[in-house]
Structure 1
Amino acid sequence: MSDQVEVIVGRVARAHGVRGDVTIEVRTDEPARRFTPGVSLRTPTGRTLRVVACRAQGGGLLVRFDGVTDRDGAEALRGLELLTDVAADEMPSGPDEYFDRQLVGLRVLDAAGTDSGRVVEVTHGSAQDILVIETATGQRMVPFVSALVPEVDVEAGTLRLAPVRGLLVDDQDEQ
């Protein structure tokens, strides 16, 4: 049996309507898999929430949990992170796809190979994912697209950026 890792798959944003639905800030690349009816998720307090319905709504998700039947119940969930366990060796379906947990912690190398920071977060935007990179001068956000991040080596613990000005420093800082 493989080891399991706990991952955050979403956060309850707010109540939606009067029947107990909640909007979810998705924190997973596989929302259809993680929020399918019948799936149980945990909160950091240890509460288990079983998904009974899920549908796309305006770029996000509307989810109904078993036992949450009204707006007050939905409001009580506001702000809770939703967690699940996945196999540590589970891989994404595509060859050039990565789970957030594989990217967070990677050392960031500039085009010349100089250590320039570390990935501290992956945010999921409407157009593409964004890497949040902690550098010596603060956090920078880099779109996670092959034109800007041409090389990811999870085993080596690194990713390399393309030679594009301004990715990790402002142009005026380079002068």
Structure 2
Amino acid sequence: MQLVVARVGRAHGIKGEVTVEVRTDEPELRLAPGAVLATDPASAGPLTIETGRVHSGRLLLRFEGVTDRNGAEALRNTLLIAEVDPEELPEGEDEYYDHQLMDLDVVTEDGVEVGRITEISHLPSQDLFIVERPDGTEVMIPFVEEIVTEIDLEEQRAVITPPPGLIDDRAEIASSREPADEPRAPGDES
């Protein structure tokens, strides 16, 4: 199976290095020197990583045969694609590849069907499941431990405990104000 692991950004310097937008949780595995990656567009590759380094918080790669700025700039916006065994699992215990989570049924702890995961959005602060409900509408569910309590790949389901208002319109509204006191007659201390 093929997974997009990075997108080539702009050229860096004059010796063929490029910045890359990493799209994998395992860049040290997928973007290591010697890795051969397919590309989109296919005409740009395959590319073999010659060197990699981090500079000012950005990953810089140099590919075999790309020796100058013009060659590096020609690769801009190219997607880098790794071949991954579909049975391979991430190293971490509670980590999943996107393809493992796609199409899982989403249910609440008490078994109420919410929908099916159709997309996973990777945001800087957290990941979101985009869930298509049975009526065709979509709901976004943060992929955080407090809400997604179980991923069961064998049963093909994700169990959630949504806070009020996340998947329905019945949000609990809490007020910080105390209820208004009844007017009291002077001297009434009850």
Q: Give the TM-score band, short-chain normalised.
A: 0.7 to 0.9
1:22-61, aligned counterparts within 5 Å?
A: 22-44=18-40, 45=42, 47-57=45-55, 60-61=58-59
**Residue type of the alignment partner of 1:119:** I
Question: Per the alignment, in what secondary structure is the counterpart of residue 103 of structure 2?
Answer: coil
Higher relative contact order (CA 8 A, sep 6+): 1
- Larger mean Cα displacement after TM superposition, 127-136 or 156-165: 127-136
In structure 2, distance between residues paired with 1:68 and 1:168: 50
Q: How far apart in 2 are the matches of 1:59 and 1:110?
A: 39
Unaligned runs of 5+ in 2: 172-190
Residue type at the aligned position of 2:32: T
RMSD: 2.5
* Larger deviation, residues 61-70 vs 150-159: 61-70
Q: Report what 1:161 is aligned to.
A: 160
Q: Give the structure with higher Rg (CA).
A: 2
Deviations 1:114-161 (A, max 9, x none): 332332333444444333334432362x33221121110112111122
Q: Distance in 2 between matches of 1:131 and 1:117?
A: 11
Distance of 1:126 and 1:58 partners within structure 2: 18
- In the alignment, structure 1 segments of 5+ residues that lack a partner are none
Q: Percent identity?
A: 44
Q: Secondary structure at the match of 1:116?
A: strand
- Structure 1 counterpart of 2:10, from 14, 33, 44: 14
**TM-score, normalization by structure 2:** 0.74
Q: Which amino acid aligns with 1:52?
A: E
Q: Aligned equivalents of 1:58 and 1:124: distance in 2?
A: 22
CA drift at 1:101: 1.5
In 2: Cα distance, 1:96 partner to 1:154 partner: 12
Show the 5 A alignment for 1:114-153: 114-135=112-133, 136-138=136-138, 140=140, 142-153=141-152
Aligned to 1:102: 100
Question: Which shifted more, 103-112 or 27-36?
Answer: 103-112
